[in-house]
Chains A and B, each alone.
Chain A
Amino acid sequence: MADWQVECPMRICLLAGHIYAATRMGMWGFNGRWELAFSTSVYQKELQNLLELSGCMDYLKSMEGGCRTPVLLGDEIGMIWIAEHYYRDGKPACLILFGPMFLSQLSVKSVEESLKKMTFSMSARVQLFRILESLPVMPFSLVRQYAMMLHHCITEETHQDFSYYQEAQLQFQNDSLRAACEGKIESEDSFGSDPERMVALERQLLQCVRDGNGNNAELMNSVTELSNLPVSHTGNPIRDAKNTVIILTAQCCNAAIEGGLSIRKAKEMENEYIRRAESCTTVTELMTLDRKMLEDFIIQVRRTNENPLISPAIREGCDFIRANIMKSFTLADVAKHVGYTEYYFTRKFNKEMGIRVNDFVKEAKVEYAKIQLLTTSQGIQEISDTLNFGNRTYFSKVFREITGMTPAAFRSQLGKEKEDETAERT
């Protein structure tokens, strides 16, 4: 093991390299006289000026005895720095900083908007624009992980209990920065600003569970978006992510019961996924588990509902239609896929499913269009083209026949894209 031991400066250099490669975030080292000793930042001189002007350095200088644990520092425009002292003979010998970066909640966009509103010439603004654009934007959970990596690099301290790092170690320059980091400040660009859309997404996902339908890949992918919207704000991102998974698991369990899965089986699955969520140690693990849980419930509902009156060939035909909904295909293609003639397939389909194949295709397209309207900002014409409706008027007509409202009305019901509604009326 001794051969693997690396001195602190080398560990810090390695960490700086890893973090720069992953995020383009710079590392800074200041000597005991607060003079810059090294930096990996591209805009070293400019960002050092901003660091000095931000008051962050003054705050660090005011800390008696230096900082033995990571300190999070922030300026008025939301730029964040992580700092910790490296001690030699019990005295602070070197200050190591990472940054700057923006938290996702404190988006760089708002700063750029403020800059745009200022009446300066472009030549005056362009350099600051360029620098801000180069800075990484990352969620607080990641910032916290980098802070703990820095602390480990400097001290080699390790703790089995991850919450020790989360709750005891990290210091904040002030309370407003702490509140911003812990997500207690509502910002315009956070997921929370569009709750109607998130609720609608959640409903669509739960409907997929009830129907045992996992063919909508985009909707299935949106579970990640739901996972990113914590249902609690405990200040501990892992706990928040666990709470989110647990609540979604309970909702999926109820939806699966409504979809026909036995209560006993659904509850067994619920307990198992909650147990697995509690044993996860990273947010990434929890997000993977979320997706797996959803897929598992859908598969179980589907198996339960496999109607013996519907033949495997017709079921395969339905799957083919759903999976190729964005492609241009004919009924002959579907029939050929399941090994029947078009005439025999359409008659058999109608008999078993109680609906004409063409109507089933229309319904599947409208279901997909609803997801597109819900999860993207694509125009109605574009969605119509994607689904090969031929023209927008026909798409709107079919959509209204099935849902009782136009695509624009469906979208505007969710408070999105008002301009589409106007275009639809014209």
Chain B
Amino acid sequence: MKLQKGLRHQIEPVHFLKAVNRCRGEVVLTTGEGDCLNLKSTLSRYIFAVNVDQQEFPESKICFEEGDYDCIREYLM
């Protein structure tokens, strides 16, 4: 079952993405502008990492498998 949660502000991108790596299923971030970043793909991770300090990805949502909740819970709203 998929869960969808908001992303916390001012997260540390490298720690967050390393946590995402520990997830078994796909983790997709959907930005307020409608962009979908598959956070398991290298280029998407790089886009996230270079943008996260400049824009807080307002209204962005994280979609992930229920079983992966514990891996990333500290970064969710």
By a beta-carbon cutoff of 8 Å, the part of chain A in contact with chain B is: 43, 45-46, 49-50, 52-53, 75-77, 111, 114-115, 118-121, 123-125, 127-128, 131
User: Is B37 a contact partner of A49 (Cβ separation < 8 A)?
Assistant: no
Given contacts A49-B13, A75-B42, contact A120 B35 (CB under 8 A): yes
What is the minimal beta-carbon distance from B62 to any residue of chain A, in angstroms? Answer: 16
Give the interface centre of A76, A77, A119, A120 by most chain B CB atoms within 10 Å. Answer: A120
What is the minimal beta-carbon distance from B10 to any residue of chain A, in angstroms? Answer: 14
What is the minimal beta-carbon distance from B67 to any residue of chain A, in angstroms? Answer: 24
B interface secondary structure, majority: helix
Assembled-state Cα–Cα distance A382/B70 (Å): 65
Total number of residue pairs linking A and B with CB closer than 8 Å:
57
B77: Cβ under 8 A from any A Cβ: no
Q: Which residues of A contact B46 (CB under 8 A)?
A: 50, 53, 77, 128
Q: Which residues of B contact A121 (CB under 8 A)?
A: 31, 33-35
User: Is B43 a contact partner of A50 (Cβ separation < 8 A)?
Assistant: no
User: Is B14 a contact partner of A128 (Cβ separation < 8 A)?
Assistant: no
User: Is B14 a contact partner of A52 (Cβ separation < 8 A)?
Assistant: yes
Assembled-state Cα–Cα distance A410/B15 (Å): 58
By a beta-carbon cutoff of 8 Å, the part of chain B in contact with chain A is: 13-14, 17-18, 31, 33-37, 42-47, 49-51, 53-55
Assembled-state Cα–Cα distance A131/B50 (Å): 9
User: Is A124 a contact partner of B13 (Cβ separation < 8 A)?
Assistant: no
User: Is A49 a contact partner of B14 (Cβ separation < 8 A)?
Assistant: yes
Which residue of B is nearest A127, CB measured?
A: B50
Q: Which residues of B contact A46 (CB under 8 A)?
A: 49-50, 53
Give the interface centre of A52, A53, A75, A125 by most chain B CB atoms within 10 Å. Answer: A53
Q: Which residues of B contact A115 (CB under 8 A)?
A: 43
Given contacts A75-B42, A76-B42, A77-B43, contact A50 B35 (CB under 8 A): no
User: Is B47 a contact partner of A50 (Cβ separation < 8 A)?
Assistant: no
Which residue of A is nearest B33, CB measured?
A: A121
Given contacts A49-B13, A52-B14, A127-B54, contact A120 B47 (CB under 8 A): yes
Q: Which residues of A contact B53 (CB under 8 A)?
A: 45-46
Give the interface centre of A49, A76, A77, A111 by most chain B CB atoms within 10 Å. Answer: A49
Assembled-state Cα–Cα distance A128/B13 (Å): 15
Assembled-state Cα–Cα distance A77/B50 (Å): 15
Given contacts A75-B42, A77-B42, A118-B43, contact A50 B33 (CB under 8 A): no
User: Is B43 a contact partner of A49 (Cβ separation < 8 A)?
Assistant: no
Known: A77-B42, A123-B55. 18 other contacts (CB 8 A): A43-B50, A46-B49, A46-B50, A49-B49, A50-B46, A52-B14, A53-B14, A53-B49, A75-B42, A118-B43, A118-B44, A119-B36, A120-B35, A120-B37, A120-B47, A125-B47, A127-B54, A128-B43
What is the minimal beta-carbon distance from A174 to any residue of chain B, in angstroms? Answer: 16
Q: Which residues of A contact B55 (CB under 8 A)?
A: 123
User: Is B33 a contact partner of A124 (Cβ separation < 8 A)?
Assistant: yes
Q: Which residues of A contact B34 (CB under 8 A)?
A: 121
What is the minimal beta-carbon distance from B44 to any residue of chain A, in angstroms? Answer: 8
Q: Which residues of A contact B42 (CB under 8 A)?
A: 75-77
Q: Which residues of B contact A50 (CB under 8 A)?
A: 46, 49-50
Q: Which residues of A contact B50 (CB under 8 A)?
A: 43, 46, 49-50, 127-128, 131
User: Is A127 a contact partner of B17 (Cβ separation < 8 A)?
Assistant: no
Given contacts A52-B14, A53-B17, contact A124 B47 (CB under 8 A): yes
What is the minimal beta-carbon distance from B55 to any residue of chain A, in angstroms? Answer: 8
What is the minimal beta-carbon distance from A410 to any residue of chain B, in angstroms? Answer: 41
What is the minimal beta-carbon distance from A26 to any residue of chain B, in angstroms? Answer: 15
Given contacts A49-B14, A75-B42, A118-B43, contact A127 B35 (CB under 8 A): no
What is the minimal beta-carbon distance from B33 to any residue of chain A, in angstroms? Answer: 5
User: Is A124 a contact partner of B35 (Cβ separation < 8 A)?
Assistant: yes
Q: Which residues of A contact B13 (CB under 8 A)?
A: 49
Assembled-state Cα–Cα distance A257/B54 (Å): 67
3 nearest A-B residue pairs (beta carbon)? A49-B49, A46-B50, A52-B14
Q: Which residues of A contact B49 (CB under 8 A)?
A: 46, 49-50, 53
- The answer, among A53, A75, A118, A127, for a CB contact under 8 Å with B51, is A127
Assembled-state Cα–Cα distance A118/B45 (Å): 13
What is the minimal beta-carbon distance from A349 to any residue of chain B, in angstroms? Answer: 64
* Contacts A/B (CB < 8 Å), 22 sampled: A46-B49, A46-B50, A46-B53, A49-B49, A50-B46, A50-B50, A53-B14, A53-B17, A53-B18, A75-B42, A76-B42, A77-B46, A118-B44, A120-B35, A121-B31, A121-B33, A124-B31, A127-B47, A127-B50, A128-B43, A128-B50, A128-B51
